[in-house]
Structure 1
Amino acid sequence: MDLATVRTFVAAADAGRFQEAAAELAVTQQAVSKRIAALERNLGVRLFTRTARGAKLTIDGQAFLPHARELLRVAERSVASVRPGRRPLRVDVISSRGAGSGLMRGFHRAHPEIDLDVVWLFDIETAVAAIRSGAIDASFRAVAAPGRPLPEDIESARVVDEPLQLLTGPAHALAGARSVTLAQLAGHRIWMPGIVPGTEWAAYYHDLVAEFTLTIEATGPNFGSDALLDTIADTPALATFMGEHTRLVWPTGHGLRRIPVTDPTPVYPHSLLWRRDNPHPALAALRAHLAATAAGHDAAGTWTPGWVIPRRG
């Protein structure tokens, strides 16, 4: 059903005269008459009777009027749902406990008036495809993995470099250290069952191992962070890497230690990805917030893989 004819019918019903409806809609009286006639043909009923005083609704017109009003209300809500700024900003943060989630919490505290929809997507291909299709507005990723440049319509900005820490149980040989160097980690078993081949974090840790001769084991099923913490707490031979901004809570009896890594400090580079032509005003607000709150990048004494995209706005 043509909404223009429905809108004309409602205007004519409210005005009681086609001439006044035409003035309200900024069209000719002849156009109003043609639209009403077309709607009557479509419905197969008469909606108005002409009188000396104007146009009067027939019984069928009176029955159709409330439904016509609802059609226009539904149409307006439909348009509003996708109008820039009227729908929530949809952002992928990969995981609820990672740095991206923390950055979005900070943005929400700074801009509580902006509606947000936070999602968790696994791999970068899925995230990029969702950005390009419009399913999400942005994603936090480490870009770009070697051999996989971003599409030309995707922009990125490096927003935070997250230092890695060594997480050990109380009986680990390094548990009492105030900090450890990468050289001191040679020969120690670092267990990270969440490393999945083909992901950007797998590429990151592959280069870290190759450059500093570390031993990272990704064996066994990944039962999540709680199971990882239990194992690290109970197994003196194992440690793991943990991002400084990763939020974890464990039982007091675990006695886990988070130890800074130095000389150099490996940092995980988080970037925000978005489509260049995305007009959502909240996306611009998010980018401005991250640019204003971002810490220094490529600082002295830190390490990132050579393929990581430099920081740019």
Structure 2
Amino acid sequence: DESAPLRTHLSGKQCSIQLLNVSFERPLAIIRSEKSSGSSKSPMSPQSSTSDLLLTHGVVSETETILKQRESRLRQQLESKQKSLLVAEKEATRSKDLLQSRLTASGATSESVEEAKRKHKDKQGKFDRLKREYSESKQKVATVAAQLKQAKESGGSVQQRMTHDALELQHQGFRIVETLAKYDDSYLSEHNDAVRAFRWLWRSKGRHIRLQHQHKMNPRFHEESSLLAGFLVKYAAANPNDVDVLFELLRIFLQPTTSDFTFVRDFLSHTVADVLSDEDQTQVMQRFYTLIAGEGPEETKVL
């Protein structure tokens, strides 16, 4: 296996820390910021608050999506007009040169000169028209680009948002961990920092919001919750005495989703019924009674 040395290197503690710092720096920073800010934020209108919240967690607004599509279409049109303009400019230049040669030629007839003038007028008129259209298209692109920039900035600083790049880094991080855990069953159990980060991400408001608005997300990032659930299931299977993670996995059933999490339900049913020791089952019941008596969401209690 030629990739074994690379996997061994990536499985090292130092690489694990670097992976967290690079791939998951932004979502973890947002989680810490939300925890520290609490209720200290200045009040906003419900509409503004919801819009900013979605943008913060990487859910692109419908306005931004429409503007992106319009900008892309206008840029394609601008590129096409630029090509046509260059062709028209060459034709106008050639027609001008032809006219000059006819005017200076001693043997040129008046008919040939008039024909050259007519062609040059047509070519120059076409060039001037395309030049105006190109200038107008360029202005339209600039206007939409400014509107798009304003729409993006309305959600706060880019450094405080789950941008497309931040979502891509997180996705790549998930894929790396998925590969490492596939070839090393003990990877998650031996990397507490990674497991702690994944549990944070699993409980985070951002993951919940992105799953709620999955239809607005790039399909590339639809597997976020499935991948995290897979990591936690793998960790829980190797650490059955950590009953808290079993209750954390229940969160995925708090809302309808188009993704299939049957594997989580099957794992929980099998683990509680057939894997946990009597002592661990007692812990589960104690944790359950504590949850019922607590002030947590009613949906969680029903689950």
TM-score range, shorter chain: under 0.3
Q: Which has the higher strand share?
A: 1
Q: Which has the higher helix share?
A: 2
TM-score with structure 1 setting the length: 0.25
